[in-house]
């Protein structure tokens, strides 16, 4: 892999950029691999990368039915934060957060990780109690998170409306200064390039249609639109399509897939310095490096694989945005889109071995998986390579729904963004 650098760009500028090589190749699948990852989103590609880098397992294929990074990785609003409530969540999201810092250098790919701060707004007494609970728990877990008064919040985010007379006045906010955003495509591409460089095969436009099993029920490979591919270990990282893939191995999942919409405005000169989230009024907003306001909407109420949703969902979200930022009513929506998010009953992910030998699953990230990408990928690679979980993902088992040991972030926050 030829290294990316300012020098490389200058060199290529001299020769009309003719010397760049493909960031990843498009190989035909081998007969078999040591590990097959199903799903080439950020989590799946990252898993392959860490399998190669940390565990020396390079005979790996990542199989993708569409184009890499084309699922929720390329459709989310790129919020990164780790100020979750429970120790278990702090463990996995904190693990991710530490990996974000330095990921560009690790991958030699600028993922534009931006620590611009994530501000979560409290609109009522219940929010204040809940956020303070988060802040105290985070502090003792060594995770930054601080309380801001409405005035401090306004100072941090000048467009914010802190009028006492608004419908839901702002009573303060929890700020994670090290929270922020990253460039979503670059995360997928950076992992793809780095994994490819270590020998991982990324096989796009190849749909898995079945999972083959041996005499003891163990996995032996996958049936795909490009034929059978053998393996002893499969990691399913298929987000909204997880239920469909797991069903191929006879495993029914505690998941429901919902449409989740997002939108961007036309590009504007810098006006919004940070990320603001309000779970109470359902508003999630930041400004991209191109100048677009990036706004996350809620899920539709019914399960769907359509990657579209209703206008009333967008409508509700923009109501909230303009309530918090009344000067934005004249800003224009430029593009809206939808993804499919897989949601668990306790709104926490599953990164786990399964009852099928050799089959591993990483799913259930709901509306907030992007932020976890490096941590999830790193821990999942560990789980697959060692056949036992990393301490960061040990609590996120599939069997917690049997035992009742839930990690209920939904109980602590209306939406687990």
Partner 1 sequence: MSGAYRIAGKGRLTPARQARFSFDGKFYTGLEGDTVASALLAHGVHLMGRSFKYHRPRGPISAGSEEPNALINVARDATREQPNVRATVQEIFEGLKTNSQNRWPSLEYDIGAVNNLGAPFFSAGFYYKTFMWPKAAWKHVYEPFIRAAAGLGVAPKEADTDHYANRYAHCDVLIVGAGIAGLSAALAAAQTGASVIICDEQPEVGGALHYEAGTTVDGMPGFEWAQKTAQKLAAMDNVRLLTRTTAFGYYAQNFISLTERITDHQAMVEKSAPRERLWQVRAKRVILATGAIERHMVFDGNDRPGILLASAARTYLNHYGVAVGKKVGVYTAHDSAYEAAFDLKRAGVEIPAIVDTREKPGDAVMAEAAALGIKVLTGHAVIKTSGRLRVTSMTVGRSTKGTTTKYEIDALIMSAGWTPSVHLFSQSRGKLTWDADNARFVPGTHAQDCLAVGACNGTDGLANTVEEALGAGELMARAAGAAADAEKLSLNTETAFEWTGGMVGASEGAGPDTVAKAFIDFQNDVCAKDIRLAVREGMRSIEHIKRFTTNGMASDQGKLSNMHGLAIAAEALGKDIPEVGLTTFRAPYTPVTFGTIINHARGSLFDPTRKTPMHDQEAALGAVFEDVGQWKRAWFFPRAGEDMHAAVNRECKTVRETVGMFDASTLGKIEVVGPDAAKFLDLMYTNAWDSLKPGRAKYGIMLREDGFIYDDGVVGRLAEDRFHVTTTTGGAPRVLQHMEDYLQTEFPHLKVWLTSTSEQWATVAIQGPKAREVIAPIVDDQDISNEGLPFMSVVECKVLGGVPARLFRMTFAGELGYEINVPADFGPALWDALYERVEAAGGCAYGTETMHVLRAEKGYIIVGQDTDGTVTPYDAGLGWTVSKKKTDFVGIRGLKRPDLVAEGRKQLVGLKTRNPKVVLEEGAQIVADPNQAKPMTMIGHVTSSYWSEHLGSSIALAVVVDGHKRKGETLYIPMEKETIAVEVTDTVFVDKEGSRINV
Partner 2 sequence: MLLIHCPYCQEERPETEFRHGGEAHIARPTNIADISDEEFEAYFFIRSNEKGVTFERWRHAHGCGRFFNAARHTVTDKFIKVYKAGEPKPTLAELGLESGESQ
| Contacting residues toward partner 2, per CB under 8 A | 241, 243-244, 252-257, 301-306, 308, 310-312, 342, 345, 401-403
Backbone φ/ψ region at 78: left (φ over 0), alpha (ψ -120 to 50), beta: left
Choosing from 1, 155, 227, 335, the residue that interacts with partner 1 (CB under 8 A) is 335
Distance of CA 175 to the CA centre of its chain: 20
Choosing from 49, 189, 191, 284, the residue that interacts with partner 1 (CB under 8 A) is 189
Binds 335, which of partner 2, partner 1, none (CB < 5 to 8 A, cut-off by type)?
partner 1
201 is a site residue for partner 1 (CB under 8 A): no
Give 96-165 as a DSSP string.
HHHHHTTHHHHHTS----B---EEEEE-SHHHHHHHHHHHHHHHHTT---EEE-HHHHHHHSTT----TT
136 is a site residue for partner 1 (CB under 8 A): yes
207 is a site residue for partner 1 (CB under 8 A): no
CA-CA distance, 105 to 264, in Å (whole number)?
A: 29
User: Among 88, 53, 11, which Cα is nearest to 395's?
Assistant: 88
CB of 212 to partner 1, least distance (A): 28
Binds 303, which of partner 1, partner 2, none (CB < 5 to 8 A, cut-off by type)?
partner 2
Q: Interface residues for partner 1 in 219-258 (CB under 8 A)? A: none
Q: Give 5 or 308: the residue with its C-beta nearer to partner 2.
A: 308
Length of the chain in terms of residues written: 417
Which stretch of DSSP H or E encloses residue 92? helix 87-100
CB of 401 to partner 2, least distance (A): 4
Q: Interface residues for partner 1 in 46-105 (CB under 8 A)? A: 66-70, 74, 87, 90, 102, 104-105
CB of 308 to partner 1, least distance (A): 7
44 contacts: CB under 8 Å, gap ≥ 6: 37, 38, 62, 64, 235, 237, 238, 362, 377
410 is a site residue for partner 1 (CB under 8 A): yes
Q: Interface residues for partner 1 in 253-292 (CB under 8 A)? A: 265-271, 281, 287-291
């Amino acid at each position: 892999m030829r290294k990316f650098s300012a020098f490389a760009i200058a060199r290529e500028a001299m020769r009309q950029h003719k010397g760049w090589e493909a960031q990843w190749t498009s190989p035909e699948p081998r007969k078999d691999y040591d590990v097959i990852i199903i799903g080439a989103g950020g989590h799946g590609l990252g898993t392959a990368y860490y399998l190669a880098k940390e565990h020396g397992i390079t005979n790996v294929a990542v199989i993708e039915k569409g184009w890499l990074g084309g699922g929720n990785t390329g459709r989310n609003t790129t919020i990164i934060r780790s100020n979750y409530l429970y120790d278990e969540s702090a463990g996995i999201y904190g693990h991710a957060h530490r990996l974000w810092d330095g990921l560009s250098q690790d991958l030699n790919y600028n993922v534009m990780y931006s620590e611009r701060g994530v501000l979560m707004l409290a609109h009522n007494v219940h929010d204040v109690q809940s956020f303070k609970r988060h802040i105290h728990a985070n502090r003792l877990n060594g995770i930054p998170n601080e309380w801001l008064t409405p005035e401090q919040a306004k100072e941090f985010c000048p467009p914010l409306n802190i009028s006492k007379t608004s419908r839901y006045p702002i009573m303060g906010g929890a700020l994670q200064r090290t929270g922020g955003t990253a460039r979503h495509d670059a995360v997928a591409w950076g992992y793809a390039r780095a994994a490819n460089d270590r020998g991982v095969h990324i096989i796009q436009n190849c749909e898995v249609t079945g999972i083959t099993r041996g005499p003891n029920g163990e996995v032996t490979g996958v049936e795909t639109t490009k034929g059978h591919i053998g393996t002893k270990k499969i990691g399913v990282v298929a987000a909204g399509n997880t239920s469909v893939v797991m069903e191929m191995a006879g495993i029914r999942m505690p998941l429901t897939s919902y449409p989740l919409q997002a939108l961007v405005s036309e590009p504007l000169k810098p006006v919004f310095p940070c990320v603001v989230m309000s779970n109470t009024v359902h508003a999630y907003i930041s400004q991209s490096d191109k100048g677009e306001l990036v706004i996350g909407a809620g899920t539709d109420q019914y399960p769907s694989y359509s990657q579209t949703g209703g206008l009333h969902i967008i409508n509700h979200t923009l109501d909230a945005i303009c309530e918090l930022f009344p000067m934005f009513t004249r800003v224009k929506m430029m593009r809206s889109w939808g993804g499919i998010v897989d949601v668990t009953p306790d709104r926490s992910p599953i990164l786990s071995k399964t009852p099928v030998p050799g089959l591993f699953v990483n799913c259930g990230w709901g509306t907030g998986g992007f932020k976890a990408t490096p941590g999830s990928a790193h821990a999942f690679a560990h789980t697959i390579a060692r056949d036992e979980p990393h301490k960061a993902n040990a609590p996120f088992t599939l069997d917690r729904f049997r035992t009742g040991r839930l990690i209920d972030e939904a109980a602590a926050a209306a939406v687990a963004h």
